[in-house]
């Protein structure tokens, strides 16, 4: 509960090692007196959320995050792959991740946790999403649920729980805000570190892991776009740390990730705190932007009509796109129409009357240079 009594669910999404930014998120929330009523976590967000629910201090969380090394998570399953080839369950052994998770969480069950936690996972055989920590799904070890939530298919073997074999909840929903919305809360603070609209180059030449990681970013982004396109309630503060440049499997940016999670959350809270508490619904922080179409670049394909908000774009007599005439109020997820333009003919800039102020939780609406 926050200092003003606004009860909220904190949703921590997956994104590989980029999820260490969640530790910075928790510091920013704690410094401002924002205590979640429940944390809903997926993948590394489940691990960070589980440590929080076990009452790790912020300093302890930061120490664990900064000490994490590649060998603590990844060890190629050479013997398994040599013996079983394509029938091997994963390219990495499960033991290092198991030791990491169990070392942090022990054998605690959800019933033992002093704080509320929900962990997302997916049954690899049925496609059913299971959210451990909900009623009827509490009498299991938190470490097992977190391992399952981190088990990206192909990278780590599925985890058996209750005669089901479970993998990363990102297969269904990398940022499980819908589950958070029904937890008897006034609102949601959601932190997305997994999706990205950043343009990249030469991914096809970068190997299996890079291709899978980039594929995951694209899938996560489209799922988030669809999930939030018509979001009404409860009000949501969407925090988007600027971590797109960090590879999902990189171990060279720990301090930067913690700092960016803190920065993005602090900025979002500073701008949106009063608005979110008064609002009945919607996604925050809001900002005013001016949208323009470069007629020289426009080829008249109509992608903006398909992907933009209804009525925002139209085609003129020359077959060129025409954007809105005045400033538009955008949430952090409103700008995907820019990315969907195949010739990058659409741009958006802060409206003149709003220029000079930061955008709080960040925005991924503007297409960026290949990375």
Q: What is the pLDDT of residues 28-47, one digit of tens each?
A: 999 999 999 999 999 999 99
Task: Please give the C-alpha separations between residue 205 and each of 180, 198, 209, 286, in angstroms, as whole numbers.
Answer: 39, 18, 11, 38
User: Measuring CA to CA, which residue among 187, 168, 145, 193 is closest to residue 23?
Assistant: 193
Residue 206 predicted with pLDDT over 80: no
Span 272-297, average pLDDT: 86
Question: pLDDT category, 366, cuts 50, 70, 90?
Answer: very low
Model confidence at 340: pLDDT above 90: no
Please state which of the ranges 3-7, 224-228, 305-309 shows the lowest mean pLDDT: 3-7
Q: List Cβ neighbours of 365 (8 Å cut-off, separation of 6 or more).
A: 197, 289, 330, 332, 333, 334, 335, 336, 337, 338, 339, 348
Alpha helix positions (H), 106-207: 142-150, 177-181
pTM: 0.86
User: What is the pLDDT averaged over residues 344-369?
Assistant: 61
Residue 318, burial from CB neighbour count under 10 angstroms (0-12, 13-18, 19+): exposed
| 344 or 146, greater pLDDT | 146
CA distance linking residue 150 with residue 105, whole number of Å: 14
Pairing between strand 38-41 and 117-123? parallel
What mean pLDDT value characterizes the chain?
A: 87
Instruction: Please determine, for residue 312, whether its predicted confidence score (pLDDT) is greater than 80.
Output: yes
pLDDT of residue 100: 95
| Catalytic positions | 43, 168
Rounded CA-CA distance 336/340 in Å is 7
The winner for highest mean pLDDT among 8-22, 62-76, 224-238, 269-283 is: 8-22
- Tell me how far the alpha carbon of residue 268 is from its chain's centroid: 16
Which pLDDT score is estimated for 177? 96
Least confident of 52-61, 64-73, 333-342: 333-342
Q: Which residue has the tokens 């936690």?
A: 117
- Annotate 198-225 with DSSP letters as a single string: ---S-GGGS-HHHHHHHHHHHHHHHHHH
- Which residue, 16, 9, 103, is CA-closest to 56? 103
Burial (0-12, 13-18, 19+ Cβ within 10 Å), 151: buried
pLDDT band (50, 70, 90) for residue 361: very low
More confidently predicted of 95 and 363: 95
């Amino acid at each position: 509960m926050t200092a003003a009594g606004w009860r909220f669910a904190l949703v921590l999404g997956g994104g590989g090692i980029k999820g260490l930014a969640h530790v910075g998120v928790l510091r920013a929330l704690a410094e401002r007196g924002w205590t979640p009523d429940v944390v809903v976590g997926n993948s590394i967000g489940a691990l960070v959320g589980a440590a929080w629910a076990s009452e790790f201090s912020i300093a302890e969380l930061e120490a664990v995050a900064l000490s994490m090394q590649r060998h603590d998570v990844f060890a190629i399953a050479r013997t398994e792959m040599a013996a079983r080839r394509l029938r091997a369950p994963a390219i990495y052994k499960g033991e290092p991740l198991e030791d990491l998770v169990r070392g942090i969480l022990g054998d605690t069950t959800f019933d033992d946790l002093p704080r509320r936690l929900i962990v997302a996972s997916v049954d690899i055989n049925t496609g059913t999403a299971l959210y451990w920590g909900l009623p009827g799904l509490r009498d299991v070890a938190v470490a097992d649920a977190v391992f399952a939530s981190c088990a990206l298919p192909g990278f780590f073997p599925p985890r058996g729980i209750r005669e089901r074999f479970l993998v990363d909840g990102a297969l269904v929903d990398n940022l499980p805000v819908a589950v958070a919305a029904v937890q008897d809360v006034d609102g949601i603070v959601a932190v997305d570190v997994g999706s990205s609209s950043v343009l990249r180059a030469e991914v096809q030449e970068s190997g299996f892991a890079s291709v899978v990681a980039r594929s995951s970013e694209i899938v996560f982004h489209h799922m988030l776009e669809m999930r939030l396109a018509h979001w009404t309630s409860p009000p949501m503060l969407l925090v988007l740390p600027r971590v797109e440049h960090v590879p999902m499997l990189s171990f060279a940016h720990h301090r930067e990730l913690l700092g960016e999670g803190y920065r993005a959350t602090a900025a979002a809270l500073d701008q949106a705190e009063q608005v979110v508490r008064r609002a009945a619904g919607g996604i925050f922080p809001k900002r005013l932007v001016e949208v323009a179409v470069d007629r020289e670049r426009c080829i008249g394909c109509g992608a903006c009509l398909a992907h933009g908000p209804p009525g925002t774009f139209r085609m003129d007599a020359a077959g060129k796109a025409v954007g809105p005439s005045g400033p538009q109020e955008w949430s952090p997820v409103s700008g995907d129409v820019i990315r969907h333009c195949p010739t990058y003919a659409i741009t958006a800039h802060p409206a003149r009357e709003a220029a000079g102020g930061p955008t709080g939780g960040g925005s991924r609406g503007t297409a960026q240079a290949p990375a």
